[in-house]
Structure 1
Amino acid sequence: MPPQIVQLISSYSYLALFLLIYLQEIGVPIPLPNELLMLFAGYLSFKGILFFPAVLLCIITADFTGTITLYLLFYFCGNYLMAHKPKWIPLSDSTLDRLQQKVTQGGWWAVFLCRITPFIRGYTSVVSGLLRLKPKWFMPIAGISSILVCGTYITLGEISGPYWNEVAIKLNHFRYEALGLVLLIISIIGITRLSTILKEKKKAKEKLQYEKDRFIRLHMVSETAWVTQGQGVHTAYIELMELLAGDRDIILTVNGEGKGNIFHSHTYGPYYFWKGWAYKGRRILTAHVIPDSSKGTIPFWKQLFPLTSLYLKMVYSFADVVIAISPTVEKAIKDLGVKSDIVRIYNPVLTENWARTPENRQIGRKLLGIKPNEKLILGVGQLQERKGVEDFIDMAIAMPDQKFVWVGGRPWGMFTEGVQRINNRIENAPANIFFTGLKAIEDMPPLYAAADVFLFPSYQENCPLAPLEAAAAGLPVVYRDIKEYTTLYRAPYLRATDTAAFIKTAQRLIDDPDYYCESVKTSCQLIAEFDKEKIKNELISLYRQTLDKYFEENKWGSISSTWAKH
């Protein structure tokens, strides 16, 4: 304990305590923090030098008086002080407005918490005065907090009296530790503030650039560029890039180190979080999968389903806007309790990429070893239970006179459900069915063109592209009759409830030319719902809305109008 403090209290008793507490509360530095001074006063009460009730009354009164003095000074003179403050003090009107908004949102409880927090108690009086918090609200808060804080420290000093020598030594070291802690806190606040200023400047620069040229600098990401390319997500990503790259309002950056003013991802792995971190407020995710997509897709999917749901919820919540590619996806995201904005935009179909040509048909049939007069029934999808590949094998067994081809493999390798079981089925499949394995997207148009009928026996889908690509290639498409399609498609489509129905419909398409022609027309009606220009316009509109919302400046209410409510 500083000897000058001990001498002062010994000479002037309660008057010294009052002045020391009061002066430090109004901002005058003294050698000992108020908290330690109150502990010492409690110790003196234990020793019988001071009277405990008198210590309580003296210190609480000094603390409350100092608090009110500081509050009233800035309440009545705050405008003058702010107008004549040095320019280097980082306390602008806009800063006060933001602070006032935060305090308003927390109400009197926020002020009370600040009043009982060490190191910032005095600043609370200053800010409350500057914000012109009404005296009828602040004074009771100041009184209650003074009683609580001062009473606690004095009582602790009284209780620790028998051990004061040990406590005093620790308190002496605590002064330097506390000073270091304060400096650390100030440094952290300074660094945080500097980071915020730099971010605000960057944001202002981006806004100025956007308002100047109105270009959408789109940063599109998909981890399928490096892995798992043999699936619909990669096709959707590739075709969307192709669709948007030709738009005059869009500058496209893909996966690399480039920067944009908006972020759009198609996948949800580590790269999605890494690249999306810098785009808070402008993150868009196309949700191609939902928790139900894991059923029959990965090993032990039943046991992993809760974890899958939890992870996908985190993925969706990281985005500011989630694009649901079907009503089923939209409902699944909402059922998870995701708070991000959700919009429904379907996957576009670039019909010109899949149009059947005689050249493609010849290439595809040569590649598959199919003779010109043979009928070919095609299936596309990963080799997993969910896609219905085992049912497709049963169809080939039931129709030995027709050729069957399944295009697709296992992008996830051994992390695919039923590898051994399906491999056994493939090894024992009849000679009229052929499995191509994974194929690149550029190899698919000849394969569609080589076929005559497309069967899609998948058990769970969201907005599948393979049947739409087949429809664009002029093929009749037969879907499994599942509820997802009833909400996805407005136009009619061919459907089969089970394997027997698939076989019956496929045989009729081969045997009945009139039915075949009508089914091709049905396919044409189906793909009309996925018009690329319509979907492109919806996406560009979403990008602009997201950017406009992001760049819109915060609007704070005035100080007087906000506190008038109190």
Structure 2
Amino acid sequence: MKVLLFSEGKKLFSRSGVGVALKHQMQALKAADVAFTLDPRDSYELVHINTLGLKSWKVLKNAKERGIPVIYHTHTTYEDFRNSFLFSNQIAPLLKRQLIKRYSTADYLIFPSKYTESLIRSYGINTPGTVVSNGVDTTLFRKNETLAKEFKNSFKIKSPLIVNVGLPLKRKGLIDFVEVARRFPEYSFIWIGAKFSAIQPFSVKKVIRKSPKNLLFPGYLSFEMLLGALSAADVFFFPSYEENEGIAVLEACSMKCPVVIRDIPVYQDWMVSGENCLKASDIDGFCEAINMLLSDREHAIKLGENAAKVAQDRDLRIVGKKLKEVYSHVMGGANE
């Protein structure tokens, strides 16, 4: 069995969740000893598509014409596309029609979470599918005190550090993050993630430009710098309004970071407030949670250790085995 892992715009999406998901799939399949290619000109027996562009549609149609089974990974939903980039809300209804068309044409779907599955089913899509986490490499995402010191020195950080990782989007809770930072001038806040300024709404650019002095937006950082930031973080604060899973949350969990997240449905069945994270729904709640973690370090450490167990359950080696099972199931169905 040889699989075509297809994603277009690899350079454009390399710093986004879809780009990270593709890298994770490659690592997972190598660990599971599944042969794959990224080139649609190669030979293959199964297609696994991650993106929604015109080339993806061409690959899907070509595979269907040749009788090759197609799996579509549902990284994109109408809900998580809105409040993202310039004109995303205007484009979202058109995107939803494409989602329905693509996901309905595929032979099988992979959902990053039960929540995403519920959204896709609400569109009236009945294509068979299953939930498989995007996963995290727990061997790489481990606390490193040396990198933590180097990171703090690089950014001259001497106060408690609150970190977030992701594209600086309104949907990601940018406005709330900035306001929380403003309420805690005695702490250091850092939002790590490529800025994509050309397609950011003016309102978002304004929020970033007028953010308080204790909040930094360094943009995209190297992997070592990212590990340093997560190793140095006293709190990982991720106030996103909409996620299909939250790879950044998994990475923070793997690093044993005390995590503060918004109380949204995607986390309902795996992130438990008071057990492996703290959840809140508004700025006051986020401030209270952060204060609690910074004042009670014993509780913060316990939450971080429990969060690491969540990551272990979604390690890429486990994901690879699950993908292999899905591929075998779909191939078996195609051969019946």
| TM-score, scaled relative to structure 1 | 0.55
User: Which digits, 9 at most, give the CA deviation of each residue in 1:424-460, with x for residues without a partner?
Assistant: 2222222111001134556532222232210010011
Q: Given the alignment of the two structures, is residue 511 of structure 1 paired with residue 295 of structure 2, yes or no? A: yes
Where structure 1 has 5 or more consecutive residues not aligned to the other structure, the ranges are 1-215, 553-566
Equivalent in 150, 153, 173 of residue 388 of structure 1: 173
Say if 2:3 and 2:45, in contact at 8 Å, map to a contact too: yes
Rounded Cα–Cα distance in structure 2 between residues aligned with 1:431 and 1:302? 31
Corresponding position of 2:244: 462
For this pair of structures, how many residues does the alignment match?
A: 331
- Look at both structures and tell me which one has the larger radius of gyration over its CA atoms: 1
Rounded Cα–Cα distance in structure 2 between residues aligned with 1:224 and 1:443? 25
Instruction: Give the AA of the match of 2:238.
Output: F
Q: Secondary structure of 1:355's partner?
A: coil
Equivalent in 183, 200, 204 of residue 422 of structure 1: 204
Say if 2:83 and 2:169, in contact at 8 Å, map to a contact too: yes
Instruction: Give the AA of the match of 1:335.
Output: S
Corresponding position of 1:559: none
Rounded Cα–Cα distance in structure 2 between residues aligned with 1:444 and 1:515? 24
Corresponding position of 1:252: 36
Rounded Cα–Cα distance in structure 1 between residues aligned with 2:216 and 2:191? 6
Corresponding position of 2:12: 227
C-alpha change, 1:496 and 1:522, in structure 2 (3 Å) is: farther
Question: 1:315 deviation in Å?
Answer: 1.9
Corresponding position of 2:115: 328
Structure number with the higher strand fraction is 2
Instruction: Give the AA of the match of 2:202.
Output: Q
Q: Secondary structure of 2:93's partner?
A: helix
Instruction: Give the AA of the match of 2:301.
Output: C
Question: 1:516 deviation in Å?
Answer: 1.6
User: Which digits, 9 at most, give the CA deviation of each residue in 1:39-78, with x for residues without a partner?
Assistant: xxxxxxxxxxxxxxxxxxxxxxxxxxxxxxxxxxxxxxxx
Question: 1:292 deviation in Å?
Answer: 0.7
User: Within 5 A, what are the aligned runs for 1:98-497?
Assistant: 216-248=1-33, 250-255=34-39, 257-280=41-64, 281-371=68-158, 374-411=159-196, 413-416=197-200, 419-439=201-221, 443-487=225-269, 489=271, 492-497=276-281
Instruction: Give the AA of the match of 1:261.
Output: E
Rounded Cα–Cα distance in structure 1 between residues aligned with 2:37 and 2:23? 13
Question: 1:488 deviation in Å?
Answer: 5.0
Question: 1:255 deviation in Å?
Answer: 3.7
Say if 2:3 and 2:44, in contact at 8 Å, map to a contact too: yes
User: Which digits, 9 at most, give the CA deviation of each residue in 1:168-191, with x for residues without a partner?
Assistant: xxxxxxxxxxxxxxxxxxxxxxxx
Rounded Cα–Cα distance in structure 1 between residues aligned with 2:276 and 2:302? 12
C-alpha change, 1:515 and 1:454, in structure 2 (3 Å) is: same
Rounded Cα–Cα distance in structure 1 between residues aligned with 2:307 and 2:12? 31
Rounded Cα–Cα distance in structure 2 between residues aligned with 1:539 and 1:282? 14
Q: Given the alignment of the two structures, is residue 548 of structure 1 paired with residue 332 of structure 2, yes or no? A: yes
Say if 1:348 and 1:532, in contact at 8 Å, map to a contact too: yes
Say if 2:254 and 2:312, in contact at 8 Å, map to a contact too: no
Rounded Cα–Cα distance in structure 2 between residues aligned with 1:360 and 1:525? 23
Question: 1:551 deviation in Å?
Answer: 2.6
Deviates more, 1:461-470 or 1:508-517: 508-517
Rounded Cα–Cα distance in structure 1 between residues aligned with 2:149 and 2:42? 42
Rounded Cα–Cα distance in structure 2 between residues aligned with 1:520 and 1:351? 14
Instruction: Give the AA of the match of 1:401.
Output: E
C-alpha change, 1:424 and 1:302, in structure 2 (3 Å) is: closer
Q: Secondary structure of 1:385's partner?
A: coil
Rounded Cα–Cα distance in structure 1 between residues aligned with 2:76 and 2:9? 14
Q: Quick one: percent identity of the two aligned structures?
A: 26
Say if 1:230 and 1:441, in contact at 8 Å, map to a contact too: no
Rounded Cα–Cα distance in structure 2 between residues aligned with 1:482 and 1:355? 27
Say if 2:32 and 2:321, in contact at 8 Å, map to a contact too: no
Rounded Cα–Cα distance in structure 2 between residues aligned with 1:273 and 1:493? 39
Rounded Cα–Cα distance in structure 2 between residues aligned with 1:377 and 1:322? 36
User: Within 5 A, what are the aligned runs for 1:34-53?
Assistant: none
Q: Secondary structure of 1:245's partner?
A: helix
Question: 1:341 deviation in Å?
Answer: 1.7
Q: Secondary structure of 1:263's partner?
A: strand
